[in-house]
A and B are shown apart, each in its own frame.
Chain A
Amino acid sequence: MAIDSSLRTGPLPSIPTDFALPLLCALPFLASVFVLAAPGEKYRGAAWVTAVVAAILSLLSIALFPAIANGEVLISRIEWVPQLGLNLTLRLDGLAWLFAVLITCIGFLVVLYARYYMSPKDPIARFHALLLAFMGAMLGLVLSGNIIQLAIFWELTSLVSFLLIGYWYHRGDARDGARMALIITGTGGLALFASMLVLGHIVGSYELDDVLASGSMIVESPLYPVALILFLLGAFTKSAQFPFQFWLPNAMTAPTPVSAYLHSATMVKAGVFILTRFWPVMHDHQLWFWIVTYTGLATLLFGAYTALFQRDLKGLLAYSTISHLGLITTLLGMGTPLAAVAAIFHIANHATFKASLFMAVGIIDHETGTRDVRKLSGLRKYMPFTATLAIIASAAMAGVPLLNGFLSKEMFFTETAEFDPNVFVNLSLPIVATLAGMLSVAYSIKFVHGVFFGPPPTELEKVPHEPPALMRRPIEILVLICLAVGIIPGITIAPYLAAAVHSVLGAETPYYSLSVWHGFNLPLVMSLIAMVGGAAIYVPYYRKLRDIDGVPLTRGLVGQRVFERLLVTATNRWARHLVGAFGTQRLQPQIFVVIFLALAAGIGAAWARIGNLPLPQSFDPVLGLVWLLGGISALAAAQQAKFHRLASMILMGGAGLATCLTFAWFSAPDLALTQLLAEIATTVLILLGLRWLPKRSPISEPAPVAARFRRYRDVVLAALVGLATALASYAIMTRSAPEGISDFFLANAYKQGGGTNVVNVMLVDFRGFDTMGEITVLGVVALTVFGLLRRFRPASDSADRPEQQRMLDDYAPGSGDTVADDFLRIPALIMNWMFPVIVVVAIYMLMRGHDLPGGGFIAGIVMSLAFILQYLAGGTRWVEERLRILPLLWIGWGLLLALLTGLGAMVLGAPFLTSAFAYADIPLIGKVPMATALIFDLGVFALVVGATVLMLIALAHQSIRRPKVSGSNKPKQRMGVDKWN
Chain B
Amino acid sequence: MELTLAVAIGILSASGVYLLLRPRTFQVIIGLSLVSYAVNLFILSMGRLRMDAAPILSGSDANIADYADPVPQALVLTAIVIGFAMTALFLVVLLAARGISGSDHVDGKGD
Contacts and interface: CB of A to CB of B under 8 A. Distances in A.
A774 B78 contact: yes
B42 A762 contact: no
A778 B81 contact: yes
Contact of B8 (A658, A762, A785): A658
A667 B53 contact: yes
Contacts of A725: 9-10, 13, 38, 42
Interface residues of A, number: 115
B82 A774 contact: yes
B34 A758 contact: no
A423 interface: no
A339 interface: no
B5 to A, nearest CB: 7
Interface in B1-43: 1-27, 29-31, 33-34, 37-38, 40-42
A781 interface: yes
B33 A951 contact: no
A692 interface: yes
Given A627-B4, A714-B22, A674 B49 contact: no
Interface string B66-93: 0111110110111011111111110111
A745 B71 contact: yes
Nearest to A766: B74
Contacts of A637: 15, 19, 30, 34
Interface in A496-519: none
B12 to A, nearest CB: 5
Interface stretch (A37-45, A264-272, A642-650, A869-877): A642-650
Contact of B7 (A631, A678, A747, A763): A631
A717 B17 contact: yes
A595 B70 contact: no
Given A737-B69, A759-B74, A781-B88, A794 B99 contact: yes
B77 A670 contact: yes
B28 to A, nearest CB: 9
Interface in A877-907: none
B37 A966 contact: no
A689 B89 CA distance: 12
A591 to B, nearest CB: 6
Contacts of B1: 616-620, 623
B77 A759 contact: yes
Interface in A636-668: 637-638, 641-642, 645, 648-649, 652, 655-656, 658-659, 662-663, 665-668
A608 to B, nearest CB: 20
A758 B89 contact: no
A638 B74 contact: no
Contact of B34 (A655, A793, A794, A944): A655
Given A585-B107, A595-B21, A656-B33, A616 B14 contact: no
A656 B17 contact: no
Nearest to B46: A732
Contact of B21 (A717, A795, A796): A717
A771 B44 CA distance: 19
Contacts of B24: 641-642, 696
Given A638-B30, A734-B2, A792-B96, A751 B60 contact: yes
Contact of A784 (B12, B22, B89, B99): B89
Interface string A748-774: 011100001111001100010011001
Interface in A123-146: none
B15 A635 contact: yes
B78 A770 contact: yes
B59 A746 contact: no
Nearest to A780: B85
A747 B2 CA distance: 27
A749 B58 CA distance: 11
A498 B57 CA distance: 85
A52 interface: no
Contacts of B78: 763, 770-771, 774
A667 B85 contact: no
A570 to B, nearest CB: 30
B68 A666 contact: yes
A674 B80 contact: yes
Interface in A505-554: none
B17 A722 contact: yes
Contact of A641 (B22, B73, B80): B22
Given A668-B76, A674-B80, A694-B98, A727 B37 contact: no
A638 B32 CA distance: 11
A740 interface: yes
B95 A666 contact: no
A796 B84 contact: no
Contacts of A798: 98
Interface in A677-694: 678, 681-682, 685-686, 689, 692-694
Interface stretch (A58-66, A107-115, A851-859): A851-859
Interface of B: 1-27, 29-31, 33-34, 37-38, 40-42, 44-60, 62, 64, 67-71, 73-74, 76-78, 80-89, 91-96, 98-100, 102-104, 106-107
- 5 closest A-B pairs (Cβ-Cβ)? A722-B14, A726-B10, A718-B18, A730-B6, A638-B15
Given A682-B84, A743-B64, A757-B55, 4 more contacts: A649-B30, A732-B46, A778-B82, A792-B95
20 contacts: A595-B17, A595-B20, A619-B1, A634-B15, A637-B19, A648-B26, A652-B34, A659-B37, A668-B76, A674-B77, A674-B81, A686-B29, A693-B25, A729-B10, A729-B41, A732-B45, A778-B85, A782-B88, A784-B92, A951-B88
